[in-house]
Structure 1
Amino acid sequence: MRWIKRIDDCLHAYKLWFLILMVTNLLFIFFAWLAYPETFKVLVGLMIVFTLAMITLPVFLVMRQQKIIEAAFEDFLLEPNEVNEERLCRVSPKTHWSFIRKTGSVLRSYQEERNEQAMELADYENYIEGWVHEMKKPLSLMTLVLDNRRDEMSLLVRRRMLHVRDQMLGDVERILYFARLGAAHKDYMFEPIHLLAFCKQIIENHQTLLDESGFQIQFSGEEVEIFSDRKGLAFIVEQIIANSTKHMEKNQARPLLLFETVYDKGSDYIMFTIRDNGPGVSEEDVPFIFDKGFTGRRGSYTKEATGMGLFLVSRMAYDLAIQLEAKSELGSGLAISLQFPNVKK
């Protein structure tokens, strides 16, 4: 089929010349009929054989030349340097040389711009990562001072300072993960994790953030073992918790976070849901809460809403083969479900 298509393309490309050849043959056949009526059939047969040979040979040569041009053109597109440009000119008709040279000049210009932008982007990513690591130093010093000077400050002041520190650490982690989104190499290490125990450890590490917001924590379901990367999964859970604390109503009496596991041994997945009882998300906004920069109808009223936290959650979940699902209605809280593949031992 491929050869048939090539032959059809060739005949279509040179149909004018083939038409001229056929008209010329018809003219000579008419002359042969007038001049040599006794040998007319023999002459017509010879002319048909000669015509078929004259069509077949050029078609074969054109197809072979076309294949050489295609190979040179592919190399030219992959690397539009002057060597490939000259190679393409040598195998192409001379009438196309000017277009090839203009195309090569434009492609090289675009390639130089792209390389410069790639270098600038790499420098920017390196700067952001360096800045993030530098920011962690004063935050670590702040933790050290708060631990060593706890007797010199009131419990309320210390709790507020720890709350601010945890918020800053969360912002720094988001910047770092965002800068690493396009990295070619991502150092994930998958291992068995007991899910509820893992979440309890994360809650202990962010207890000041939850205490400041007055959250109550509840767990539901049985302990399950999943297979994932600890750092990546911790980032996902932390961002969901931070999202709930940011959007909780200030006058709400009993803010609640519920961690729930649902596991059927015969199923191919393990469902884990983090649910709050906050203001919720309108039904029309739910499909877009994982989009970059989306803050929804409440975003204009909530200064903390940047639309980046859940976007980073979705990107990290994609890397870890976790399927996300969100359910919510205004006034009924938000439930984010993480569906883990059930990895058989």
Structure 2
Amino acid sequence: MNWIKQIYDSFNAYKLWFLIFIATCFLFSFLAWLAYPETFKVLVGLMIVFTLAMISMSIFMIMRKQKIIEAAFQNFLLEATETNEEILCKVSPRTHWPFIRRIGSAIRSYQAELNEQVIELNEYENYIEGWVHEIKKPLSLMTLILDNRSDEMSPLVRQRMLHIREQMLGDVERILYFARLGAAHKDYIFESISLLAFCKQTIENHQPILDEAGFQIQFKGDEAEIFSDRKGLAFILEQIITNSTKHAAQNQEHPILQFETVHDEAGNQTILHIRDNGPGVFEEDLPFIFDKGFTGRRGTYTREATGMGLFLVSRMANDLAIQLDAKSELGSGLTISLLFPKVKQ
């Protein structure tokens, strides 16, 4: 059926010339009838055979020419060099040459701009990764001082220093992850994880920030086994905890952060609800809290709001096949739910 379509397309492309040729044949047939009525049938038969032969030969040559043009055009699209442009011009009608050269010039211009942007992006990523590794040196020194010279500090000063260190570490992790968003290879290792125990461990790792903000931590529900990547899941929990410390602690004398596991038998899922009792999110802002750079009206009340934390959470959750859901009422806090799929081991 493909060759029938090719024949039809070839005939349709040059139908005006074919119609003129057929009309000319009819004219000569009429003249033959006037001039040679006794041999009219023989002449008309020969003319019909000649017409069909010429049309068939023309269509065959047009199809062959189209294949040559198509091959040259494919090469031109894959690599719009001046050499491929000239090859395409040679096999194309002369009337198409100005358009081909204009297209080639535009493609080469866009390709040059794209190459420059790729180089700049690679340089930016390399700079960010290098900066992250450099900033870890003073952070390591701060950790060393906090571990070895804690007796020279007052408890309040040490707690504030730990709080600042945790904030800086969180910012560094966000920058590093954002710089690697487009990486082709991501080293995830999926394994069985006890969800509540893992949440408690993550809380312990970020206790200075929570203590500084005066958070009360609550755990509800039964222990649940999920299948995920430890580093990725820790990153998600860290960003949600950081988001709560930035917002929930502002308007609450006794901020609360609650972790609750639920087994959804109908959906065959394990769900982790993370709730705070902060100011909540406006209803019109709620669908967009995972969008890049979105801070909403609530973001205007805090200098720390960048709209990047929950965006990175959504990207990591997508990589780990975790569904996200958010519910909130203004003045009643924010609940972010992580829906883990059931995996047969």
Query: How high is the TM-score relative to the length of structure 2?
Result: 0.94
Quote the residue 1:20 is aligned against: 20
> Which residue in 1 is equivalent to 2:57?
57
Match of 1:85 in 2: 85
Structure 2 CA distance for partners of 1:191 and 1:266, relative to 1, 3 Å: same
Do 2:251 and 2:279's aligned partners in 1 also have CA atoms closer than 8 Å? no
How much does 1:310 deviate? 0.5
| 2:285 pairs with 1:288 | no
The answer for unaligned runs of 5 or more in structure 1 is: none
> What secondary structure is seen at the aligned counterpart in 2 of 1:284?
coil
Change in Cα spacing, 1:96 to 1:251, as seen in structure 2 (3 Å) is: closer
Which range moves more in the overlay, 236-245 or 215-224? 215-224
Partner of 1:189: 189
- Report whether the alignment pairs 1:344 with 2:336: no
The alpha carbon displacement at 1:331 in A equals 1.1
Superposed displacement of residue 270, structure 1: 2.1
Q: Which runs of 5+ in 2 are unaligned?
A: none
Find the counterpart in structure 2 of residue 211 from structure 1: 211
Tell me the CA shift for residue 265 of structure 1: 5.5
Shift of 1:52: 2.1
Matched residue SS, 2:191: strand
- How many residue pairs are counted as aligned between the two chains? 345
CA-CA distance at 1:280 after TM superposition: 0.8
C-alpha distance in 1, partners of 2:217/2:87? 70
- Which deviates the most, 135-144 or 88-97? 88-97
Q: Once the two structures are aligned, what percentage of the paired residues are identical?
A: 75
Cα offset, 1:72, TM superposition:
1.7
SS in 2 for 1:300: helix
Q: CA deviation at 1:264?
A: 4.1
CA distance in 2, matches of 1:249, 1:41: 102
Residue of structure 2 in register with 1:109 after alignment: 109
**Superposition pairs of residues 39-50 of structure 1, within 5 angstroms:** 39-50=39-50
The Cα shift of 1:268 comes to 3.5
SS at match of 2:192: strand
1:267 offset after TM fit, Å?
4.2
Contact 2:215 2:249 in 1 (8 A): no
Residue 155 of structure 1: aligned partner? 155
Residue pair 2:214, 2:249 contacting (<8 A) in 1 also = no
The residue number in structure 2 matching 1:274 is 274
Residues 229 and 320, structure 1, Cα contact 8 Å, conserved in 2: yes
Equivalent positions of 1:101-180 (< 5 A) are: 101-180=101-180
Partner amino acid for 2:202?
I
**Residue type at the aligned position of 1:46:** L
Letter in structure 1 aligned against 2:12: H
Instruction: Say if 1:266 and 1:326 are closer, same or farther in 2 by CA, change over 3 A.
Output: closer
Alpha-carbon distance in structure 2 between the residues aligned to 1:75 and 1:276: 58
Query: 2:33, 2:40 within 8 Å by CA — same for their partners in 1?
Result: yes
Q: How does 1:223-234 map to 2 (within 5 A)?
A: 223-234=223-234
Task: Write the distance in 2 (CA, Å) between the matches of 1:221 and 1:50.
Answer: 89
Q: C-alpha separation between the residues in 2 aligned to 1:286 and 1:272?
A: 19
Provide the C-alpha distance between the structure 1 equivalents of 2:230 and 2:68, rounded to a whole number of angstroms: 53
Partner of 1:223, secondary structure, is coil
1:76-126 Cα shifts (integer Å, max 9, x gaps): 111112332233233222333343334333322322222122111101100
Query: Which letter does structure 1 place at the counterpart of 2:337?
Result: S
Aligned to 1:30: 30
TM-score, normalised on structure 1? Answer: 0.94
Corresponding letter in the other structure for 1:28: F
Deviates more, 1:256-265 or 1:326-335: 256-265
Amino acid at match of 2:29: I
Deviation at 1:239, TM superposition (A): 0.3
Residue in 1 that maps onto 2:200: 200
- Contact 1:192/1:227, CA 8 A, preserved across alignment: yes
Q: Distance in 2 between matches of 1:53 and 1:155?
A: 101
Deviates more, 1:313-322 or 1:75-84: 75-84
**1:151 partner SS:** helix
Find the counterpart in structure 1 of residue 94 from structure 2.
94
8 Å contact 1:267–1:342 — kept in the other structure?
Answer: no
Structure 1 vs Structure 2 CA RMSD: 1.7
Q: What secondary structure, in the 3-state scheme, does the structure 2 residue paired with 1:262 have? A: strand
Report the AA paired with residue 156 of structure 1. Answer: L
Other-structure match for 1:300: 300
Which amino acid in structure 2 is aligned with residue 294 of structure 1?
Answer: F
Moved more, 1-10 or 190-199: 1-10
Higher mean displacement: 128-137 or 143-152: 143-152
8 Å Cα contact 2:213-2:249 kept in structure 1: no
Secondary structure of the residue aligned to 1:331 is coil
> Which segment is superposed worse, 238-247 or 4-13?
4-13
- Compared CA separation, residues 251 and 35, structure 1 to 2 (3 A): closer
Q: Read off the aligned partner of 1:119 and give its amino acid letter.
A: I
Q: Which amino acid aligns with 2:280?
A: G
CA positional deviation for 1:156: 1.1
Equivalent residue of 2:299, what SS?
Answer: coil
- C-alpha deviation, 1:320, in angstroms: 1.3
Following the alignment from structure 1 to structure 2, what is the Cα–Cα distance between the partners of residues 188 and 252?
37
Write the distance in 1 (CA, Å) between the matches of 2:78 and 2:63.
Answer: 23
